[in-house]
Amino acid sequence: MRLYPLSLAASLLPLATIHVCYIWAATNGHVDWCIPYIDSCVSISATGRKTPEYYLFKALMIPSALIFVAYWWLSCRWLVTLGCSAHKSRSTLFCIGIIASIGLILYSIVLGSIGDTYRLQRRIGVTTFFGMTYLAQLLLTYLLGKTSNLCTQHRPWLRIMERVSITILIVGMSSVALSIYDYELYKSTDNAFEWVFTLLLCLHVTITAAMWKKTNFIYTPD
Does some domain include residue 35? yes
Q: Which helix (H) or strand (E) holds 80?
A: helix 53-81
Question: Rounded to the nearest 5°, which phi and psi values hold at 218?
Answer: -130, 155
DSSP for residue 165: H
Average pLDDT over every residue of 104-127: 86
Share of the chain above pLDDT 70, in %: 95
222 occurs within a structural domain: no
H or E stretch covering 16: helix 4-27
Confirm whether 220 is domain-assigned: no
Give rounded-to-5 percent helix, strand, coil for the chain. Answer: 80, 0, 20
In a domain, 166, yes or no: yes
From CA 7, how far away is CA 190, in angstroms rounded? Answer: 28
Mean pLDDT of 64-73: 97
- The yes-or-no verdict on residue 222 having pLDDT over 70 is no
Domain span at residue 59 reads 4-214
Number of domains the chain contains:
1
Q: Check residue 35 and give its pLDDT.
A: 95
pLDDT-based confidence at residue 39 (cuts at 50, 70, 90):
very high
Report if residue 114 sits inside a domain: yes
Mean predicted lDDT score pLDDT of the chain: 91
Nearest CA among 74, 43, 63, 72 for reference residue 104: 63
219 inside domain: no
What's the burial of 36, exposed, middle or buried (CB within 10 Å: 0-12/13-18/19+)?
A: buried
For 6-26, write each residue's pLDDT tens digit. 999 999 999 999 999 999 999
CA distance 100 to 104: 6
Could you give the 3-state DSSP secondary structure of residue 43? coil
> What are the tens digits of pLDDT across the range 191-217?
999 999 999 999 999 999 999 998 888
pTM above 0.75, yes or no: yes
Q: Report whether 158 contacts 145 (CB < 8 A).
A: yes
